[in-house]
Structure 1
Amino acid sequence: MRIFIDLWWFFKQEKLKYFFGIFFLMLSSFLSLIPPYVVGVIVDAIKGRTLTPFLLTKWILFLVLIGVIYYCTGYLWRQLIFGSSIILAKQLRNTLYKHFTLLSPNFYQKTRIGDMMAHATNDINAVQIAAGEGILTLVDSMTMGAMVIAGMAVLISWKLTLIALLPMPVMAVLTMYYGSLLHKRFGKAQAAFSNLNDKVQENIAGVRVIKAFGEEKAQIGIFSGASKDVVNKNVAVAKIDSLFDPTITFIVAFCYFLALAFGSIYVVDGSLTIGRLTSFTLYLGQLVWPMLAFGFLFNAVERGRASYDRIRRLLSVKPEIVDREDALEKIPSGDIRYRINSFCYPGSENPVLADISFTVKKGQTLGIVGKTGAGKTTLLRLMLREFDVRSGEIEIGGMPIEHLTLEALRSAMGYVPQDHILFSATIAENIAFARFDASQEEIERAAKLANIHEDILNFKEGYETIVGERGVTLSGGQKQRVSIARALLADPEILIFDDSLSAVDARTEVAILQALKKERYNKTTLISAHRLSAVEHADLIIVIDDGRISEKGTHEELLENGAWYAEMYAHQQLESLVSEGGIHS
């Protein structure tokens, strides 16, 4: 029953609903005791030939009244108890989602999406059942069982009641044993479901790669194995679950046997009337539900406890990046200054960046170039505080970014990442993601600046075209330009391009860069790129090599140096010339 202790915070929150829900549930249980007693009275009246039409009519009207009240109380307790459990599910789901948004990239690198989805669906559903049907069965099995037993003992015969309930301790021991087994097996079943969820998500997201490599059969086989594992673990749960009803049914049947055997003896010796024995058997029938409910209670409680433990483990993960207590809610503006002595990713001792020092004036454009894996993306992610710099600092307008709230800092940023994430919505909605109140005219203007407007008009549905999950219906270049349009529409103080022009051709790249130069007057832009033509217009260019700045200056200054930048620029110019028609003698 630990799940009810764990959820006590919610029961306190919804105490009035649960109080009145339990009150009406107990009232329903009490009302259900009346019909068996009335039946016994009528049977004795028939046997004694004292039943008159008036008396029968009175009893029938009384039962009708009880039935109406029972109907009303049943409706009320269902609304209050089940309604509260739905509120719990909503709160847990919202809490999980908010927690997901606060967690750092390091968490998502270690945790599978399928596992998080299982927490937000199956686990929350199991907890909801524990807080709804679990409370119902707990209260109903105890109050109904206690009232029925009290009615049998007080109104009929305490001796017969004691005899009939002799098998009950056996049932209590067995159901507790089944419950402990169920808890362990259900936890494993939920973990297997998480794994299956993750496999489905991965395969759907990577369906193009799977088809390209002809791995459909292999992936179907892997999925089939994961699915079989889910089935096997759920069958293991079902094997324990299926023990409850037969065990309880057998014990109830044995209770009936004892009641009828000893009850008949009491009727024969005159210590019990046939009407009372009839009432006793009807009461015993009503005791079947509390017994079955007791089994269901252990089932729901153990499932809920296993799921709530999984949810709590997830919620116990602390965000690595949090606001300082004295953080300012001020959107930053001004010069950007990097001073990083060294930076290592969490869990690693190898520096990714070292001896980084440069300043970008407000309104300038910074170009960041270097080999793959040199540290360009890390440099930009530190600006967004996806990770914190422990040795050194980054300032905006003379203010260390750690002194600002995350919301204020990121409100100043427009970020176009390497992996362009689009949502399963219309193109217009994707562009307006950061500004839901943007007009159609503003959306189209941003699309024109990103050189994607004409492409959108060529779609059958235009701006109302559904792009599909992660933008699967668009080409790589189209996704990049929609992402750029989204950032431009937000018109941020600092715009960050993380190799965001790699999938567009040279002509489109020039058009986008010219639009940026024209539209972003007095606003800062940071551009990371492999293609040097994307940064040659920048006010400052830094070359990153193995996490360190190996060159720094303008395009012309770096060409004069004759180092890596000059060599790479010449190489790329030659490639561009060849691709446009070759070298002519």
Structure 2
Amino acid sequence: MSIFKDLWWFFKLEKKSYSLGILTLVMLALLHLFAPYAVRVVVDKIEAGTLTVEDLLLWTTLSLVVGLATYCFGFLWRIMLFGASNRLGKLLRNRLYEHFTRMSPRFFHQRRTGDLMAHATNDIQAIVATAGEGVLTLADSIITGGIVVFTMAFFIDWKLTVIALLPMPLMAWATSKYGSMLHKRFHKAQEAFSHTNDKVQENISGVRVIKAFGQEEYEKKEFKKLLDDVVEKNIAVARIDALFDPTIILVVGVSFFLTVAYGSFGVVSGEITIGELTQFTIYLGHLIWPMLAFGWLFNIVERGRASYDRVEALLHIPPDIADRPDAVDQVPSGEVEYRLKSFSYPESDKMVLKDIFVRVKQGETLGIVGKTGSGKTTFLRLLLREFDAEPGSIRIGGIPVTDYKLLRLRQAIGYVPQDHVLFSATVAENIAFGKPEATQEEIEEVARLACIHEDILHFEHGYETLVGERGVTLSGGQKQRISIARALLLDPEILILDDSLSAVDAKTEHLILEALRKNRKQKTTLISAHRLSAVEQADQIIVLENGRVIERGTHQELMQQNGWYKEMYERQQLESLVAEGGGTVGHPTTSPLS
């Protein structure tokens, strides 16, 4: 029952609803005493031969009034208790969502999306059931059971009550034992559900890859294995759950037997009337619900306990990246400076960046190039504080990025990542994601800068065209350009393009870069690219290899160094000529690679 102690903070928050709901249950329990009492009076009058039509009409009318009051109170407690529990679900989901938004990429790298979704859906639903049906069951079973037992003992026969309750300790021991077994098994069942949820999410996201590789049958078999595991673990839960009702029914049956046996002697000896014995057995029937409810309560509580533990464990994970208490509350501006001696990802000994010393003046463009895995994306992500490097090693306007509030830092940066994420919304809404109040004119202006305006006009509904989840209805180049337009709409102090022009042709790339140069004067731009034409006009270019800067300078300066940059540039120029069907190819003596 410790789950109720853990949820006490919420019960205090909703004390009005819970107090009124429980008070209503008390009123209902008292009203439920009326019908057996009415039966007792009528039966005794029948036995005595004194029952009149007026008596029958009176007790029938009173029963109807009590029934109507029961209906009203039943409606009220549902509004109070279930309304409060659903507000708990809303509160916990908001907390989880806000927690997710504060976490760094490391958190999501270590956890599966499907598992996080299971916490936000299945686990919270189990907690809501505990705060609603669980509180109802606990309160109703104690209130109803207590009032009924009190009435039986003090208003009918206390000795008969003791005899009837003799089997109850056996039921208490059995249900407690079942509850502890249920907790362990339900925890495993929830984990199995999380694995299944994750598999579904992963396969739906990657359905095109699965189909392209012809792996549909294999994935079906793998999913069937997961489903079998879920079924097996839930059946293990059901086996324990199935023990509650038979145990309780057995105990109740023994109680009825003892009641009838001992009560019959009481009627014969004149200690109680036949009406009182009838009333007592009806009350004993009323005890069946609290007993059954107690078994059901263990089921609800143990499910809620396991789920609450899982959600709390997630909420107690501190964010890797957080604001300092004295963080600067202003949007960064000025030159960008790296003084990075080394950087390794958390829980990894491999050095990703080393001896990075770069200064980018405000309004300049920095090009970052190098082989795949050379550290280009890491270089850019550190500026965003997706991970933290050495204190003071990265600065904007002379202030370490770790000293700015995260919100202000990211307001200064427009980021276009390699993985272009679009949402299931219209094209216009995707472009205006960072600035929802943007006008249609502003949206179209940045779309023109990103060379996507004409494409959008050819869509069926133009800017109101719905984009499929993650942009599945668009080509790679269209997604890239919409992502660029989204970043440009913010007019950020620093624009980061992380290999964001790889899916567009050379002509479109040239138009986009030319537009950026004209419209981003006095604003800083960082461009990482594999295609060197994207950084050719940059004020400064650095070449990374194994996390180190091996070359730096302008395009002209790098071409004179006869290093990696020149070799790769000439190779790409040759490939471009071949692709266009021009130039002379096949002469080793004149090849730039010779």
Q: TM-score range by the shorter chain?
A: over 0.9
Q: For residue 540 of structure 1, what is the aligned residue in structure 2?
A: 540
Q: Deviations over 1:451-489 (max 9, x none)?
A: 112222222122222211111111111111111111111
Q: Distance in 1 between matches of 2:56 and 2:74?
A: 27
Is residue 2:116 matched to residue 1:135?
A: no
Q: Distance in 1 between matches of 2:205 and 2:582?
A: 39
Show the 5 A alignment for 1:230-249. 230-249=230-249
Judge which range, 383-392 or 472-481, deviates more: 383-392
Partner letter of residue 111 of structure 1? R
SS at match of 1:419: coil
Q: For residue 273 of structure 2, what is the aligned residue in structure 1?
A: 273
Partner letter of residue 203 of structure 1? N
Q: For residue 491 of structure 1, what is the aligned residue in structure 2?
A: 491
Q: For residue 339 of structure 1, what is the aligned residue in structure 2?
A: 339
Is residue 2:104 matched to residue 1:97?
A: no
SS at match of 1:352: strand
Q: Distance in 1 between matches of 2:431 and 2:86?
A: 35
Deviation at 1:56, TM superposition (A): 2.6
Deviation at 1:447, TM superposition (A): 1.4
Is residue 2:198 matched to residue 1:198?
A: yes
Residues 341 and 391, structure 1, Cα contact 8 Å, conserved in 2:
no
Deviation at 1:54, TM superposition (A): 2.5
Partner letter of residue 368 of structure 1? I
Q: For residue 88 of structure 1, what is the aligned residue in structure 2?
A: 88
Q: For residue 417 of structure 2, what is the aligned residue in structure 1?
A: 417
Is residue 2:442 matched to residue 1:442?
A: yes
Q: For residue 408 of structure 1, what is the aligned residue in structure 2?
A: 408
Q: Distance in 2 between matches of 1:73 and 1:475?
A: 60
Show the 5 A alignment for 1:152-301. 152-301=152-301
Q: Distance in 2 between matches of 1:262 and 1:550?
A: 98
Deviation at 1:218, TM superposition (A): 0.5
Deviation at 1:59, TM superposition (A): 2.2
Deviation at 1:38, TM superposition (A): 1.6
SS at match of 1:289: helix
Residues 342 and 352, structure 2, Cα contact 8 Å, conserved in 1:
yes
Q: Distance in 2 between matches of 1:235 and 1:457?
A: 55
Q: Which ranges in structure 2 are unaligned for 5 or more consecutive residues?
A: 586-594
Q: For residue 475 of structure 1, what is the aligned residue in structure 2?
A: 475
Residues 341 and 392, structure 1, Cα contact 8 Å, conserved in 2:
no
Instruction: Quote the sequence identity (%).
Output: 62
Partner letter of residue 67 of structure 1? G
Q: Distance in 1 between matches of 2:38 and 2:390?
A: 79
Deviation at 1:433, TM superposition (A): 0.5
Q: Distance in 2 between matches of 1:188 and 1:109?
A: 23
Q: For residue 428 of structure 1, what is the aligned residue in structure 2?
A: 428
Deviation at 1:66, TM superposition (A): 2.1
Deviation at 1:73, TM superposition (A): 1.9
Q: Deviations over 1:495-549 (max 9, x none)?
A: 1000101111111111111111111121111100010000011111111111111
Show the 5 A alignment for 1:33-44. 33-44=33-44
Q: Deviations over 1:550-584 (max 9, x none)?
A: 11111111111111111111111111111011324
Q: CA RMSD in A?
A: 1.2
Partner letter of residue 343 of structure 1? F
Q: Distance in 1 between matches of 2:29 and 2:427?
A: 57
Residues 342 and 392, structure 1, Cα contact 8 Å, conserved in 2:
no
SS at match of 2:509: helix
Partner letter of residue 498 of structure 1? D
Deviation at 1:283, TM superposition (A): 0.5
SS at match of 2:287: helix
Residues 340 and 391, structure 1, Cα contact 8 Å, conserved in 2:
no
Judge which range, 242-251 or 364-373, deviates more: 242-251
Residues 321 and 387, structure 1, Cα contact 8 Å, conserved in 2:
yes
Runs of 4+ off more than 3 Å: none
Q: Distance in 2 between matches of 1:229 and 1:468?
A: 33
Q: For residue 14 of structure 1, what is the aligned residue in structure 2?
A: 14
Partner letter of residue 541 of structure 1? I
SS at match of 1:259: helix
Q: For residue 310 of structure 1, what is the aligned residue in structure 2?
A: 310
Q: Distance in 2 between matches of 1:523 and 1:61?
A: 84
Q: Deviations over 1:338-397 (max 9, x none)?
A: 110111111122221111111111111110001110111001000000111126511111
Deviation at 1:410, TM superposition (A): 0.3
Q: Deviations over 1:103-127 (max 9, x none)?
A: 1111111101111000000000000
Partner letter of residue 291 of structure 2? M
Residues 577 and 583, structure 1, Cα contact 8 Å, conserved in 2:
yes
Judge which range, 363-372 or 455-464, deviates more: 455-464
Q: Which ranges in structure 1 are unaligned for 5 or more consecutive residues?
A: none
Q: Deviations over 1:118-161 (max 9, x none)?
A: 00000000000001110001011011001111111112111111
Residues 343 and 391, structure 1, Cα contact 8 Å, conserved in 2:
no
Residues 331 and 411, structure 2, Cα contact 8 Å, conserved in 1:
yes
Q: Distance in 1 between matches of 2:350 and 2:530?
A: 24
Q: Distance in 1 between matches of 2:512 and 2:315?
A: 43
